[in-house]
Every structure is written in structure tokens, then in C-alpha cells.
Amino acid sequence: MTLESRRRLGRSSLEVGPLAFGGNVFGWTADAVRSFELLDAFVDAGLNLIDTADAYSRWVPGHSGGESETIIGQWLAARGPAMRARVVIASKVGVEMAPGEQGLSRAYILRAVDRSLHRLQTDYIDLYQAHRDDPETPLEETLRTFDELVRSGKVRAIGASNYSAPRLAEALRISTELGLARYESLQPPYNLVDRRTFEADLAALCAREQIGVIPYYALASGFLTGKYRSEADAGKSPRGPRARSMLDTRGLRILAALDSVSAATAATPAQVALAWLLGRGVTAPIASATSVPQLRELLGATRLRLDRSMMDSLDAASA
């Protein structure tokens, strides 16, 4: 991976590789030792964007949130200042961490960012994202607070996650009119199974406003790896219920198209699914791995180029 293969995140100065590591697994399905191995392998491959959130992994029984950021912070401390300069750390704020500790109000963001900085053991967060829209807080208040963080040096750039097109457009308008830092990226759900959420109106907005796109659920919770092909397969995994919902005529048609392109390119279905996203022009799909061999497989997507006929076949199967 070379610097030339990186792309700018929106209009910011941040340059990121074509794949982001999904840090939701750190402290959950990957313990500290395994997480360090994964992060080392990711950076050694020339990639740099590590996506996390303060709420990861609060959904796990016995967890309170912050586990992912804490492990990333321990890794950064162990690897030293040179490593911090090599990576782009993206975190998020807004999802409930405790009763009354949620949302995008000025008071809460200021508390939350200091907690994230402490867990990450760093002086700044490269990309600080609103985890989801907060209709209870005026957009101007949220954006003024983010702008304050950028001006103070605690944050280098800001982004949005799970915003609708009208709300994202309104946020961009406010930032422009008031001279505030603007959202430089959007993190939407986007993959071969779920195309409508992003393509309906967000894609055109992001292209027009030069917003970087960092899709999550890039592999549709593992469905696009091809490991779920029957009810029996779905029953073997905690993600089974989600996978089972995709095992319909369209889902099987998508898997068949992935198999066809995989055979033609000597790639795996997961690599093809990620390469399709890159072919659609996104900045960096987010993908997670819990072992180094699994990570290396996903990294193969950054070297895979799908021709027009392959893209067309995948487009048609997932239409």
C-alpha cells in the first residue's frame, strides 16, 4: 500500500487508505492480545483508518462501553508516538453510555470527548463523528461544539453517522453560513444487500458536497462472506437471525453473483463484496476481523479491481 493509493477524507487534510478496520471487535470478540496483533497487521499492510466509538462494546453483558477505545489506547501507548502519527483514529459520540449520558448537546459532547481522549491515551482524535442524529438538540449547538473542539486541537475533523440526507444537508448549510467546521464524512450502512439507504439520496449529496463515505455493515453482518447459505448455517452463529432474514430469493441471487465473480477473479466473496463498494466510489468500507488470517483475506480487496461486466452483474443481482 502506498500513499498514492490513499484518498482525502472530504475536504479535510486527513488521508486514509481504502479500507477501515472496524474496532467494534476490540475487547469483545478479540481480547487485548489478539487486538494488538490485528492492529499491527493492519498498519503493517499500509492501512491507517481505525474506526471505533465510545459505546463499543456496551451491548455485551458486563461491559459498560469504552472497551474498544481502551484497547486502542493501550496499543498506541505500547507502540509509541511514531505509531500515533501513522494512524487515523475515528471515534464517535452520541449513543447512550449511561442514564442521561447520550446525545449531541454541548455539555455532553464536551464530557464525552475528554473521556474518549483519556481512554485512547492521545491528545487528539483525527475524526470525531456524531454516532447518530439527535433531534432533541439544535444542529447549530452540536456544530458549534464540534467547531470548538476542532479549534482547540482536540479533534482534527468531524463526521456524521446515520444521518438522513435532509439532516446532513441542513448541517452542511449551517456550517457554511456560520463558518463552522463541517461534517467531512458520512458513515452509512451500505453493502450489496442494503443499497437503498445510501443510494436513494445520500450518495448524490455526498458526491455534490465532497463528503467522504465510510460504510459500515460492508459485509452485511457476514452474509456477504458466503458462510450463510441455509437455515442450518444461520443457526450456528449469533448473527444467525440477521443472516436468516437475508436468505430470500434476492439474497441467494446476490450470493450466486458473488460466487461467479469470485471464480473469475480467484478472490473470495468477501473480497469481491468490498471491491464492489470501492468500485462504487466510497472512501473506505469498514470491515472487522478477529484473526490475522481473516484480516489478510479482507486486505486482498484493496488489490482487487472488478471490470465493468463484473460490476454490472453484481449491480443487477442486488438491484
How many Å is the Cα radius of gyration of the chain?
A: 19
Residues contacting 148, CB < 8 A, separation 6+: none
128 is catalytic: no
* Catalytic member of 56, 163, 217, 228: 56
CA gap 113, 96 in Å, rounded: 14
β-strands 88-93, 49-51 pairing: parallel
Question: Which phi and psi (to 5°) does residue 156 adopt?
Answer: -90, -35
Residues with a known catalytic role: 56
